[in-house]
């Protein structure tokens, strides 16, 4: 190769490198001035830092799912949150893990404090630890309810934007799609789901599926009204869009619901804590009383004090459950329990257990069977009648066994107290100093020697005890009076020790408690049904709003109205479902049968208006008073909600404060007064005897 060719190659290479350098410089300058720089900044803002809470919660979720105990709670959270975070697995896992982590952060320190406070009382410690597990449910439900309420508040803004978008596009599905593009709001996912339903090939079927998973009834109403408007078209009523009027009606209902929830949360925000507080204050209160009034030690550390403790714990548990049921009743939250194949269903599949449970269950078709089924419906319980009776039988067995264990523990507690109580005659005047306490414990140890010798011998006499006492080195130089006092004291102790065993009436009491445990699930259903009756007026007013939205839509008939009422019914779901099923056999007759089953007059008037709309007059004329008296019904609804909250608040306060009152009265005041008066009487009697 010649030198000239090599020179050309080298020159070309240098020129090419120079051209590339100039091109890079020009391109970099353009990139700095263009959107490229902004994109780079956005990318830097999305890069994860060394610590990411998002990733931490995702990892914690995987860990919680693998832990058997925590798995129950994380799956319960999933079932509620996956409805709110529809089709968003990442958000569902994150929120589930976040809520459970916060709950554990509160419960774990509480458990540690409980163990420290009750380290000397294992029974109370065990009961408290079991009880505190229920606190996790409260914290979890409270967190999810907060998200549910936030979703409801987001719906107000969502519907407001829907109005503006509908004015712009004049198409339901386009308005929903446009507003649902905001990724920061939870309601946007619901809007996207409704949009997908409206543009699907079979929107009616997809809508029925959505009704089963919608987070609240207002989204159901919005989805239903949007579908009807898309199918049948919009129309003008009094110069305004009927679709927008219906959205306005739903918005007003949501505003009332939000106010109702806020007021209920305000009324009940501290009642759950107040109902729980006594179980955490029992031991500190006991220690304070003993340290200031030493004469109460025998009562608190003996069997009477333990019995009162257990009663207060049981009352606290009952109050806690009732307060929760009272606050949660009528909520729009969905049922998070496994209703397909719970442990009761698995147990009932076993032939032996099935035969045993069937012995207690009323036969199908009997009056008792219909009564129980109706009670389950009235209480809106997810339980089947077989599951209810499995609960009742299991609770009865557990109550009986636990009662016997508690009786045995109380007997052992009384015996242990006899063996460990300092033996002396001190009263209200004061406590023992260290020297007197050592002497008292020395006497107790000598008494224990005799007690061990005669324990279990029911026919032991004082003469036999006296012989044994005189043989002890401790009483070698004692006078006859001192020996006589010791014999009498030891004999009394021996009677206590030998009498502490399970007696026939304790077996009877355990059986009685088992019957109470057997009836408890039934009583709880009755309480829940009673509380639901308070909300009858609220549900009927909800029916009026639904009818008001439907009555002016073209092609809507009585059957469609009944289907909508059935979809949103809670308390009156049974009669309405029966009417819908019998409607094709005869519309008037089906409505008449429903009217006979319902005794609540406002609903009876609605049924009569539906009967008139079946044959005589159009639907809009049958319910014309709903439109003309709309403002009156709105004010009545507000007043009804206020009365409902006030009534629930009164009941809740009575139930929530009951454990606290019983603790101070039954566990502090009565023991102090009764034992104090007894000690004073005995002191005065002994002073009188010495004077004489």
What is the per-residue pLDDT across 603-622, written as a single tens digit (0 to 9) for each?
888 888 888 888 778 888 88
Residue 459 tokens read as: 């026919």
Residue 316 tokens read as: 């606290």
Residue 512 tokens read as: 């009685």
How far apart CA 445 and CA 634 sit, in angstroms, is 78
* Beta-ladder partners of 241: 236
In the chain, what is the greatest distance between 2 CA atoms, to the nearest angstrom?
147
Q: What pLDDT digit, counting tens, does each position of 429-477 carry? A: 445 566 767 777 878 888 888 888 888 777 888 888 888 888 887 777 7
Long-range contacts of 190-196 (CB under 8 A, 24+ apart): 190/86, 190/151, 190/214, 190/215, 190/219, 191/158, 193/86, 193/87, 194/219, 194/222, 194/223, 194/226
Nearest to 421 by CA among 395, 466, 451: 451
Nearest to 528 by CA among 570, 569, 578: 570
What share of the chain has pLDDT > 90, as a percent? 4
* Beta-ladder partners of 237: 240
pLDDT at 514: 93
How far apart CA 589 and CA 578 sit, in angstroms, is 12
Residue 582 tokens read as: 């019998």
- Rounded to two decimals, the pTM is 0.69
Are the beta carbons of 138 and 145 closer than 8 angstroms?
no
How far apart CA 530 and CA 601 sit, in angstroms, is 18
> Residue 512 pLDDT > 90, yes or no?
yes
How far apart CA 381 and CA 574 sit, in angstroms, is 13
Of how many residues is the chain composed? 692
Q: What pLDDT digit, counting tens, does each position of 105-134 carry? A: 888 888 888 788 777 767 677 777 777 777
> Residue 396 pLDDT > 90, yes or no?
yes
Q: List CB contacts of 242: < 8 A, sequence separation 6 or more.
A: 229, 234, 235, 236, 552, 553
203 band by pLDDT with thresholds 50, 70 and 90:
confident
C-beta atoms surrounding 325 within 10 Å: 15
The residue to which tokens 């010649």 are assigned: 2
| 450 three-class SS | helix
How far apart CA 417 and CA 396 sit, in angstroms, is 31
| 336 three-class SS | coil
pLDDT at 644: 78
The region, left, alpha or beta by phi > 0 then psi within -120 to 50, assigned to residue 337 is: beta
> Residue 41 pLDDT > 70, yes or no?
no
Residue 574 tokens read as: 């049974």
The H or E element containing residue 389 is helix 385-420
What is the rounded average pLDDT for all residues in the chain? 79
Residue 633 tokens read as: 């019904």
How far apart CA 539 and CA 328 sit, in angstroms, is 16
| 339 three-class SS | coil
Q: What pLDDT digit, counting tens, does each position of 280-334 carry? A: 788 788 888 888 777 777 788 778 888 888 888 888 888 888 887 777 644 434 4
> Residue 214 pLDDT > 60, yes or no?
yes
Q: What pLDDT digit, counting tens, does each position of 265-281 carry? A: 888 877 877 887 787 78
How far apart CA 632 and CA 639 sit, in angstroms, is 11
> Residue 35 pLDDT > 70, yes or no?
no
Nearest to 451 by CA among 406, 495, 413: 495
| 170 three-class SS | coil
Nearest to 469 by CA among 456, 482, 455: 482
The residue to which tokens 């829940």 are assigned: 528
Q: Which of 27-36, 58-67, 121-130, 160-169 has the lowest mean pLDDT?
A: 27-36
Nearest to 263 by CA among 640, 674, 566: 640
| 481 three-class SS | helix
Residue by residue, what is the 3-state secondary structure of 230-277?
HHHCCCEECCEEHHHHHHHHHHHHHHHHHHHHHHHHHHHCCHHHHHHH
Residue 303 tokens read as: 């069997």
Q: Where is mean pLDDT largest: 300-304, 391-395, 629-633, 636-640? A: 391-395
- Interhelix angle 53-66/68-84, nearest 10 degrees: 130
How far apart CA 350 and CA 346 sit, in angstroms, is 7
30 band by pLDDT with thresholds 50, 70 and 90:
low
Burial of residue 18, with CB atoms counted within 10 A of its CB: 0-12 exposed, 13-18 middle, 19 or more buried = exposed
């Amino acid at each position: 190769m010649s030198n000239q060719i090599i020179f050309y190659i080298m020159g070309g290479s240098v020129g090419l490198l120079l051209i590339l350098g100039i091109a890079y410089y020009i391109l970099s300058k353009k990139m700095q001035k263009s959107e490229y720089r902004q994109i780079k900044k956005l990318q830097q803002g999305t890069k994860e830092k060394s610590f990411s809470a998002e990733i931490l919660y995702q990892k914690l979720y995987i860990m919680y799912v693998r832990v058997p105990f925590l798995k129950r709670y994380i799956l319960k959270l999933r079932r509620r949150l996956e409805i709110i975070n529809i089709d968003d697995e990442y958000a569902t896992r994150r929120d589930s893990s976040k809520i459970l982590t916060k709950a554990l952060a509160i419960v774990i320190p509480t458990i540690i404090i409980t163990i420290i406070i009750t380290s000397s009382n294992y029974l109370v410690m065990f009961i408290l630890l079991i009880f505190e597990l229920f606190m996790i449910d409260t914290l979890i439900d409270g967190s999810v309810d907060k998200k549910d309420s936030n979703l409801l508040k987001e719906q107000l803004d969502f519907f407001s934007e829907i109005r503006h978008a509908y004015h712009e596009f004049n198409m339901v599905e386009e308005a929903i799609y446009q507003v649902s593009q905001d990724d920061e709001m939870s309601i946007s996912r619901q809007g996207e789901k409704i949009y997908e339903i409206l543009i699907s090939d079979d929107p009616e079927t997809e809508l029925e599926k959505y009704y089963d998973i919608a987070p609240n009834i207002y989204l159901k109403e919005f989805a239903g009204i949007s579908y009807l408007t898309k199918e049948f078209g919009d129309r003008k009523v009094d110069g305004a869009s009927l679709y927008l009027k219906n959205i306005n009606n739903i918005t007003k209902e949501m505003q009332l619901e939000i106010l109702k929830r806020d007021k209920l949360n305000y009324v009940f925000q501290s009642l759950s804590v107040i109902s729980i507080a006594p179980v955490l204050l029992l031991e500190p209160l006991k220690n304070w009383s003993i340290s200031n009034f030493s004469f109460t030690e025998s009562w608190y550390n003996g069997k009477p004090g333990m019995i009162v403790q257990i009663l207060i714990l049981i009352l606290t548990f009952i109050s806690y459950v009732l307060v929760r049921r009272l606050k949660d009743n009528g909520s729009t939250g969905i049922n998070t329990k496994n209703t397909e194949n719970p442990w009761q269903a698995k147990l009932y599949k076993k032939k032996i257990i099935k035969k045993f449970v069937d012995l207690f269950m009323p036969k199908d078709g009997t009056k008792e069977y219909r009564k129980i089924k109706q009670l389950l419906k009235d209480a809106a319980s997810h339980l089947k009648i077989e599951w209810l009776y499995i609960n009742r039988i299991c609770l009865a067995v557990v109550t009986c066994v636990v009662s016997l264990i508690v009786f045995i523990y109380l007997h052992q507690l009384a015996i242990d107290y006899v063996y460990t109580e300092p033996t002396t005659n001190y009263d209200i005047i004061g406590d023992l100093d260290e020297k007197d306490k050592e002497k008292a414990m020395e006497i107790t140890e000598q008494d224990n020697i005799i007690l061990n010798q005669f324990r279990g011998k029911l026919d032991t006499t004082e003469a036999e005890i006296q012989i044994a006492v005189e043989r002890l080195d401790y009483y070698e130089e004692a006078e006859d009076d001192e020996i006589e006092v010791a014999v009498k004291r030891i004999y009394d102790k021996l009677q206590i020790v030998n009498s502490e065993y399970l007696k026939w009436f304790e077996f009877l009491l355990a059986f009685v408690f088992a019957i109470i445990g057997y009836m408890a699930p039934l009583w709880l259903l009755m309480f829940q049904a009673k509380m639901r009756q308070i909300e009858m007026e609220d549900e009927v007013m909800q029916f009026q709003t639904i009818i008001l939205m439907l009555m002016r839509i073209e092609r809507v008939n009585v059957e469609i109205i009944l289907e909508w009422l059935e979809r949103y019914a809670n308390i009156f779901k049974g009669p309405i479902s029966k009417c819908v099923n019998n409607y094709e056999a005869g519309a008037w007759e089906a409505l008449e049968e429903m009217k006979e089953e319902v005794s609540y007059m406002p609903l009876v008037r609605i049924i009569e208006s539906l009967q008139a709309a079946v044959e005589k007059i159009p639907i809009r004329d049958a319910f014309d008073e709903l439109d003309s008296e709309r403002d009156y019904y709105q004010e009545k609804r507000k007043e009804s909600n206020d009365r409902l909250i006030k009534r629930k608040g009164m009941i809740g306060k009575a139930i929530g404060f009951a454990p606290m009152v019983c603790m101070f009265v039954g566990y502090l005041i009565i023991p102090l007064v009764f034992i104090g008066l007894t000690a004073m009487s005995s002191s005065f009697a002994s002073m009188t005897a010495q004077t004489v």
